[in-house]
Structure 1
Amino acid sequence: MNKRYKWLVGVMVVTFTTFSCKKDLLDIKPIDFVSDVAVFQDITLTNQFVNDIYGSMLSGFERRDFGYDQDWARGFANLDMMTDDIEGHNDLPMNRVQEGDLNPNFSMGTQLWAVNYSLIRKANTLIARIDGVPTTNTALKDRLKAETKFLRAFAYADLVKSFGGVPLITTEQNATDDLEVPRNTYDECVAFIIKECDEAAAVLLPSYPDAAELGRATKGAALALKARVLLYHASPLNNPNNTLSRWDDAAKAAQQVMALAPATYDIHPDYYQLFMTKAGNKEVIFAKKFARPHRTHQSAWMLHMSFTPTGWGGWGAFHATQNLVDAFEMRTTGLRPDETGSGYDPQNPYANRDTRLDRAMLMNGSQFKGITVETFQSADLNAHPDGNANGRTNGDRTKTGYGLRKFIDDKNMTADAVYQGGDNDWIYMRYAEVLLNYAEAKNEFSGPDGTVYDALDKVRQRGGLPPLPRNFTQVALQEKIRNERRVELCFEEHRVYDVRRWKKGMTYFNGPVYRMNVIKNADGSITYTKAVLENRVYKESYNLFPIPQIERERNRKLTPNP
């Protein structure tokens, strides 16, 4: 077999999984074999109930797009496919959102609502009953209650950043109760989340010495969630009068997490290994744990869509855009390619770039498991008899010239490139985000200062970038911070919300997205040309997701978003 393969692309393979191994936090014995009464008469079973709440959290490795009309294609979805950073495979519901069709039947919104309220229901049951569990281990009981408060706050934070104000249900509900509950205001939801985070942080441990406990909520996780929620609360979408005290609150909350560094948290030195390393990874604040052989993000019926070159039978549902690639700066100057004096060579476009670019995605010339990636096309873009646009002979191959490397656990890809399923964790919160949250909030509150530059440089230095000059205006540094978030947190489902909370959707999501045409000439040379892939449509009303239609039919008191 030829050792060079064209069109190496990646797909986020996802599946829902259950828990089966008794020793691992996220591999537990099912608890549906005992009654509710028994669960809260035995602290061991109560502990397992809390573990089940962790397991019900939705992660980026498990996000399923049920809106697709073919069962074999359900399963791969990343919310950032709704942004200018990713082009999805043909005919996914995400692509219809890119075309301007975001409606109350949007399958990902329906899933977000259902999964989070399922978690909240379990959490309310635990919090209502745990005080009555007979045990002498009161410290464990207090900790489990605090963990559950954090998990409930996390679910509400996920809901409010998507939908705005939602119904605050904080007590155990019965079938005889009035289940039609109106929405609370966004500010009321934020106040509740912050209270829960503070109460959880006061009880939770900074870390767990036992490796079997990794994945549990910690003091730092509660504080980091608080900082994130306060940052959203201060942002233009939710703070139209730009009340500066909100930015100050967000900055101070982030500082509480930063105070735990470097003893508890720090930046991992390698951007790719950050997402593969479990033990001793000080950058991870909170993550969903996966462990072989039972807990992998693999779908057996989707192996042909896994992280493999098309020459080995894989096909791509995930294509990074040229828009995102252009956000990665030059190592020599610290400037984006489009900035004057950057030193960018359009015919050698990946030379001297931020090293996170090569660790996040695959491009022409990348090295991947001993293979040189080739994404070039025929010089005659219209010569192919299948009529496929842009000279691509297979519509499943990369549409942009880029594939995914970040998150690909390549150690589990066999010699014949059959993907065996990754068991790396999905990271919900990490220290780099906290530093970026602080830099943004502090700059918005009082402008650039040494602490803002230091936080940014600590994140940027991993990409080999030079220190920032200490001469930015507040507005110029705001743009730098926003670009840094885009690069550092790419594909981690931040941009879909960042651009909305900044109220910049009409700027970034309503216009063209670009691809890189890579042409191999007759003499073997390569020509690179940036070209429009498609034009996207966005509406100001899309800054919040629509309340799912099915939920409004169940609950007549739910009012729609504008």
Structure 2
Amino acid sequence: MKNKIFIGTLLIGLLSIVSCKKDFLDLAPNENITEEQAFSTMIQTENFVNNIYSVLPTAQARINSTPYDSMSDEGFATYTASAITFSGGGYGPSNITTYINVWRNSYVGIRKANIALLKLPDVPVLNPEDEETRKRLRGEVLFMRAFLYFDILKIYGRFPIIDKPRSVNDDVVLTRNSYEECVAFILKDLNDAIPLLPTTYAATNLLGRANGAMCMALKSRLLLYAASPLNSADVAAKWQAAAVASKEVIDLNQFTLYNALANKADNYKAIFNVFANNEIIWFRNQGNNKNYEQYYYPPGLSGWGNTTPTQNFVDEYQMANGLDITNPASGYDPTRPYIGREPRFYATVWYNGSISRGVNIQTYPGGNSAINGGTNNTKTGYYLRKFVDENVSLSTGSGRQAMSIWFRLAEMYINYAEASNEANTSPSADPLIYTYVNVIRTRAGLPNLATGLNKEQMRLAIRHERRVELSFEEHRFFDDRRWKLRFGGDIKAINWNAAGTSYTISVAQNRPFEEKMWYMPIPQSEVDVTKVAQNPGWQ
């Protein structure tokens, strides 16, 4: 019975051990499948690898149907009580798994990856193509292990590196490796995977499987985080490494910014609705459904209105002339705050008076989507328009092929600009900083950045562009932290009167902040069993 594959409960997923318990992996209809059977052919081995993909998270559904960015200053979770409690500071080591359970879930996937990497060399070759399949599967598993370890790294910081399956004879006490060792381990997995994988797949049945470009994109994000203030002193070489990694993805010339529609708002919205378009480096196929529409449509469209933009976020949008609304020359009229804003605003946010599917979205008291009007009603006065396909009706017809996007080309441009700006004394030292920020702004229908910006001015411009372009794509929650921002405070809402002629600004939630919140607490259950060191401030 020792060859049964399962995930033991002794270490809450961190140390999965071998025993006589019921098979966990569901690799075949027979629940008693053994390791020997699981790796007896390359087909069975691929089934095992496919199972690891099921552990990978979905960006828009981190806490129930709620993304992490609903717990940043971008968003507010309308009805997901756990996300609201988290945002209010109601979490700690004893209950963090109620909100974020990445430590356990990632180690479950990592254990599966370690088993696959151990067994892959010995899988028999039965067909001429089996050797190529073995090579590809090893690359895929290395990517997934790297992705899962990076998920731990960005949430909890440094972690115990486990690179092989553990048994009942192994010491249960674990020591966290240094941050630098963790980054190096993930980086090695990615570098080892890249030559084993095609850069992209032409066959549609392989879309979403790990490829070389995905490994390179994850390198870009990993090295950007590793160079950031939370994780490093200001070291130019680290920033330069992140810039190089980002440029390598760009220089593949296999991805292009989506730019098919003349209307800039429609074009931006289509990035997330046109299935497998050429801007996307990696997405997880969510199947044919109406999930985004159900989650994000306002009640006036029979939706659940979850994850709503905040007034804090709305104020970030510039005017169509490219000027901040705080600039007297911008033309911003506070009595008509939604007139003349940049195109991405209209593609991302539903506001009082927005029209969708022939319905006027009414957020005023008594309106069809009134603020604080019920469980599914916004608490901020806005609804999230991004990600939904407004051709989809919740009451009739079929859904659409949905994607959860993890990497796209726009992020690589912005990653490069941030990293190179930080690596240099002035943005004038690298013309590509301006070029790559401006290519994003041009696609959005905005003028280029003003010339002659200094390093700090460019830093703010890049952070603005990142916040708007990549909103609700699981960046802001972590950007706040890696930049060491003091992200608490008032989350603001807008309250319109029925005539739409006046409004007041209120506080939807006051969110606490302590420096210990830059990293999450490790679950106390893990600390108790493995004696792994708790994060500072959470002891």
Common fold: TM-score over 0.5: yes
CA–CA distance in 1 between the matches of 2:29 and 2:103?
23
Q: CA deviation at 1:417?
A: 6.9
Alpha-carbon separation, structure 2, partners of 1:463 and 1:168: 42
CA distance in 1, matches of 2:290, 2:519: 29
SS at match of 1:337: coil
| Cα deviation digits, residues 214-258 of structure 1 (max 9, x gap) | 00111111111111111111100111x311111111111111111
Partner of 2:270: 273
Q: CA deviation at 1:55?
A: 1.9
The 5 A counterparts of 1:316-465 are 316-332=305-321, 334-377=322-365, 392-394=372-374, 396-414=376-394, 416=395, 423-446=401-424, 447-448=426-427, 449-465=430-446
Runs (5+) with no aligned partner, structure 2 = 1-24, 260-266
How many angstroms apart in 2 are the aligned matches of 1:512 and 1:173? 46
CA 1:500–1:391: 2 relative to 1, 3 Å? closer
Give the Cα separation in 2 of the matches to 1:552 and 1:314.
Answer: 41
Q: Residue 469 of structure 1: CA displacement?
A: 1.9
| Residue of structure 2 equivalent to 1:44 | 43
The residue that corresponds to 1:56 in the other structure is 55
Local SS of the residue matching 1:202: helix
Counterparts of 2:407 and 2:238, CA distance in 1: 21
Q: Percent identity?
A: 34
In the other structure, the counterpart of 1:480 is: 461
Q: 1:204 aligns with which of 197, 203, 206?
A: 197
Write the distance in 1 (CA, Å) between the matches of 2:451 and 2:28: 56
Aligned twin of 1:113? 103
* 1:511 CA displacement: 1.7
2:248 to 256, 271, 274: 256
Q: Deviations over 1:466-486 (max 9, x none)?
A: 111221111011011111111
Once residues 283 and 132 of structure 2 are traced to their aligned partners in structure 1, the CA distance between those partners, rounded to angstroms, is 23
- The TM-score with structure 1 as length reference comes to 0.83
2:285 pairs with one of 284, 289, 292? 289
**Residue 547 of structure 1 contacts residue 561 of structure 1 at CA under 8 Å; is this kept in 2?**
no
- The TM-score, its normalising length taken from structure 2, stands at 0.86
- CA 1:140–1:396: 2 relative to 1, 3 Å: closer
In 1, Cα distance between the equivalents of 2:498 and 2:150? 48
Work out the CA distance in 1 between the residues paired with 2:66 and 2:149. Answer: 21
1:34-60 CA distances to partner (integer Å, 9 max, x unpaired)? 432122121111112212111221112
Q: CA deviation at 1:61?
A: 4.0
Give, in whole Å, the separation in 2 of the partners of 1:30 and 1:370. Answer: 48
Q: Matched residue of 2:360: which SS?
A: strand
Equivalenced residues, count: 495
State the 1:200 CA deviation.
Answer: 0.9
Work out the CA distance in 2 between the residues paired with 1:192 and 1:249: 16
CA distance in 2, matches of 1:433, 1:259: 14
- Aligned-partner Cα distance in 1 for 2:167–2:399: 40
Shift of 1:395: 5.5
Matched residue, 1:217: 210
Q: Which structure is higher in RCO with an 8 Å CA cutoff and minimum separation 6? A: 1
Q: Does 1:95 align with 2:81?
A: no
Rounded Cα–Cα distance in structure 1 between residues aligned with 2:111 and 2:326: 49
Q: Which amino acid in structure 1 is aligned with residue 436 of structure 2?
A: A
SS at match of 1:374: coil
Over aligned residue pairs, what C-alpha RMSD do you find? 2.4
Q: Residue in 1 aligned with 2:6?
A: none
Is the 1:409–1:424 Cα contact (8 Å) retained in structure 2? no
**Deviation at residue 130 of structure 1 after TM alignment:** 0.3
Distance 1:439 1:31 in 2: 47
Q: Compare 399-408 and 146-155 and name the one that shifted more.
A: 399-408
Which string of whole-angstrom CA distances, capped at 9 and with x for unpartnered residues, describes residues 378-434 of structure 1? 79xxxxxxxxxx9854354211110011122444434x379x766411111111111
Structure 1 contact 58–115 (Cα < 8 Å) conserved: no
Structure 1 pair 326–128 and aligned structure 2 pair: CA distance change class (3 A):
same
Map Cα deviations across residues 191-229 of structure 1 (whole Å, 9 max, x no partner): 111111111112211111111000011111111111111
Flag structure 1 segments of 5+ consecutive residues without an equivalent: 1-27, 65-74, 380-389
SS at match of 2:452: coil
127-136 vs 315-324, greater mean Cα deviation: 315-324
In the alignment, is the contact (CA less than 8 A) between 2:156 and 2:535 conserved in 1? Answer: no
Helix, strand or coil at the partner of 1:341: helix
The one-letter amino acid paired with 2:435 is D
Rounded to whole Å, the distance in 2 between the matches of 1:29 and 1:277 is: 33
Task: Give the letter aligned to residue 313 of structure 2.
Answer: L
**Aligned: 1:125 with 2:115:** yes
Residues in 2 aligned to 1:360 and 1:108: alpha-carbon distance in whole angstroms? 29
